[in-house]
Structure 1
């Protein structure tokens, strides 16, 4: 039986018999591996971003969709003149209708592609100078794998599939992880809101091995218990590793306030650095309970750390009225900006919380303040913090700019990958 017209296997035309599987270099080759002349045709004048190798194709840039690609299926991206531009994952329900897998016309999207790309991404982390057994191994677009996040906590892999394309290749991604990390347990944490924009339901699933209730990791001399099943993100804020180290180096002899503390990472780094005492403030009682367990795990005295559960904005205002002060304050709030429409409201929130912090800082104190909102530009964030200092009657200078750790790289052609920004500020 001849292959149907337009059905081309990865290497030449081959006969297809229903759902029959073939093998290619040891990998199963199924119907999903076939290219069915599915194409995105880019509108005239909208190819420029692709020439710059930006991996996103917005729906407004698409002049036509040829064939009947399913959600997540691979499509060839062509210009109006028929010029081949890229190979991408199709997402009909998202404003980002295509996410580029490759700009190489000879590179096919198949099981070997994911094995190769994930392996290359993980290998790049081996050269990083970090004292930690917890790292991000794949950072989505910045590692050439749009929609895939992969973190490793000791011997437990936690991955997220954020896009239709990553979801389409789920089985192949898992197979690659099993091959590359045969001794690791694997957990999927695709329980993020962004999947809804791709028409996907949330999912948490233990894929391989035993997933412990808590995984112990080590970071710059601090031991930490991580809840990979239900903790924030994939369990911990790995992107703040370098900033925690900076806080520890500045904390000797200081009374420290860690706001939005989660499981206490910044506060524990401060204690490791010689802080006099630390107050951990968070709205989650379970997170603070784990912070206490982390304190005990590291052998810090019970009196060295206090936990306070409640709304940070209300508590900071109350402490200001009481005249309470600190030598070092960390502000690492959750993402306030989820759309351009919410930017103004978010700016007010950032100003409010930074204003409170400036009022609570002693002369000569340090403020470590952060925004993890990608839509919040660096210059705007600095202006907001400067306005807060002015309103508080404080004078400060930026000692250091802080950003996401090295295992969260930013591809040159993808500036959107730079989302975390922070300032270390010394006040007079």
Structure 2
């Protein structure tokens, strides 16, 4: 790529890379090549790959470059790649390896939905690939990935690796990331590939033996929360009696609880999500529990019901991320404490609380401490039954803390 393609990073940035992280923030860049500097609002064809050097001129590897993101560099190799072709070859091999590593997880199971690629955790920063039945959803979350060549390699590799297991490959941009990274306006406007002339973007997938609707044009994330798959099963093992699922979204926890509980109430602020949850309930007529849905704000409902003396035997708390930045952590911890305190008040003795946090800025220790503080405030003895994280198809890389974002505590409240 030559000297023109070199980014120089500060000592702090270089040390982060040497410790095994792959991000370099814009504030840690000491110098960029001239063609990589993009004025605000200007349209420019900035380079997608840059060699990364420290201030002494020692090469640290090759990174994907974003002219707009605060995470300006994402390391893809500790070696200097000489061409974009070398990067595309690396992309294909890592994508294939990611899929192969997940095959043993799902062989012989009653699940046909999984995360195939988990960004930095699979050595492919900014790339997410999820599979729902035979429908595969791709997200490109970095400007450096926003190219025809990348889309071709991803599509061809997925087709070769999955074979008859895939009938449609669709790109689903994240609206917030599309704006921040200034991604192509037409991204996601048509399937990347389809075996059919009229591709179906809706399907039904199976998770732990339960059936769920999927619509590639609706819902959060890529459409569902596959990271909770194993926690759904764990919650069902401990759940009993009357259950409450707070922030149920499309009924993931609620339908699993309905396998072992007598009655389940799923609560969400989104009417559209609850409509999908009701449709999902209809796909599983074998569930014996009475299942009801309620549209409500979680904080208001928990406050009203805890003060009214409403009781349950099992409660699941699965709120959206409260801390989108480090500055938001203090407020997030207050929110988590409030929710857990109210839930503990509402549990009968011997009740089960399954409480979750998907805020990667809130550590596991911080989350557990705030739940313990809530227990102290309400005077309940709380035993830890299980400490859990994301499902196995969302691997954790120890040197990249952001890959360990989901915390799940299964508790017995005495």
Q: TM-score, normalised by structure 1?
A: 0.86
User: Are 2:126 and 2:142, in contact at CA under 8 Å, matched by a contact in 1?
Assistant: yes
Alpha-carbon distance, 1:330 to partner: 0.3
Q: Aligned ranges for residues 353-392 of structure 1 at < 5 Å? A: 353-392=339-378
Identify the match of residue 170 of structure 2 among 187, 200, 210.
187
Q: Which moved more, 1:237-246 or 1:262-271?
A: 262-271
Q: Which moved more, 1:59-68 or 1:204-213?
A: 204-213
Residue in 2 that maps onto 1:60? 27
CA 1:286 to 1:211, structure 2 compared with 1: closer, same or farther past 3 Å? farther
Identify the match of residue 136 of structure 1 among 99, 104, 115.
115
Query: SS of the counterpart of 1:137?
Result: strand
What are the Cα deviations for residues 56-80 of structure 1, in whole angstroms up to 9, with x where unaligned?
1122222111251344611111123
Query: SS of the counterpart of 1:145?
Result: coil
User: Are 2:155 and 2:193, in contact at CA under 8 Å, matched by a contact in 1?
Assistant: no
Alpha-carbon distance, 1:279 to partner: 0.5
Query: SS of the counterpart of 1:336?
Result: coil
Alpha-carbon distance, 1:195 to partner: 3.7
- Structure 2 alignment gaps of length 5 or more: 37-44
Q: Aligned ranges for residues 38-187 of structure 1 at < 5 Å? A: 38-44=5-11, 46-69=13-36, 70-71=45-46, 73-105=48-80, 109-110=84-85, 111-128=88-105, 131-168=110-147, 169-181=150-162, 183=164, 184=166, 185-187=168-170
* CA–CA distance in structure 2, aligned partners of residues 39 and 179 of structure 1: 34
User: Are 2:227 and 2:394, in contact at CA under 8 Å, matched by a contact in 1?
Assistant: yes
Alpha-carbon distance, 1:47 to partner: 1.8
CA 1:163 to 1:213, structure 2 compared with 1: closer, same or farther past 3 Å? closer
CA 1:303 to 1:396, structure 2 compared with 1: closer, same or farther past 3 Å? closer
Question: Which structure carries more helix by proportion?
Answer: 2
Residue in 2 that maps onto 1:279? 265
What are the Cα deviations for residues 56-109 of structure 1, in whole angstroms up to 9, with x where unaligned?
112222211125134461111112332221101111222211101111336854
What are the Cα deviations for residues 181-202 of structure 1, in whole angstroms up to 9, with x where unaligned?
4542011111242343333367
Q: Which moved more, 1:335-344 or 1:137-146?
A: 335-344
Residue in 2 that maps onto 1:207? 192
User: Are 1:36 and 1:67, in contact at CA under 8 Å, matched by a contact in 2?
Assistant: no
Q: Which moved more, 1:201-210 or 1:147-156?
A: 201-210
What are the Cα deviations for residues 311-334 of structure 1, in whole angstroms up to 9, with x where unaligned?
111122222233211100000001
* CA–CA distance in structure 2, aligned partners of residues 304 and 46 of structure 1: 55
CA 1:72 to 1:389, structure 2 compared with 1: closer, same or farther past 3 Å? farther
Q: TM-score, normalised by structure 2?
A: 0.89
- Structure 1 alignment gaps of length 5 or more: 1-7, 9-34
Identify the match of residue 331 of structure 1 among 317, 323, 326.
317
* CA–CA distance in structure 2, aligned partners of residues 263 and 154 of structure 1: 17
Residue in 2 that maps onto 1:418? 404
Are positions 1:225 and 2:202 aligned together? no
User: Are 2:337 and 2:374, in contact at CA under 8 Å, matched by a contact in 1?
Assistant: yes
What are the Cα deviations for residues 21-71 of structure 1, in whole angstroms up to 9, with x where unaligned?
xxxxxxxxxxxxxx6841101234642222223111122222111251344
Residue in 1 that maps onto 2:40? none
Query: SS of the counterpart of 1:295?
Result: helix
* CA–CA distance in structure 2, aligned partners of residues 214 and 324 of structure 1: 39
* CA–CA distance in structure 2, aligned partners of residues 204 and 390 of structure 1: 49
Identify the match of residue 247 of structure 2 among 246, 250, 260.
260
Q: Which moved more, 1:349-358 or 1:121-130?
A: 121-130
Alpha-carbon distance, 1:359 to partner: 1.2
* CA–CA distance in structure 1, aligned partners of residues 163 and 287 of structure 2: 39
Query: SS of the counterpart of 2:324?
Result: coil
CA 1:72 to 1:217, structure 2 compared with 1: closer, same or farther past 3 Å? farther
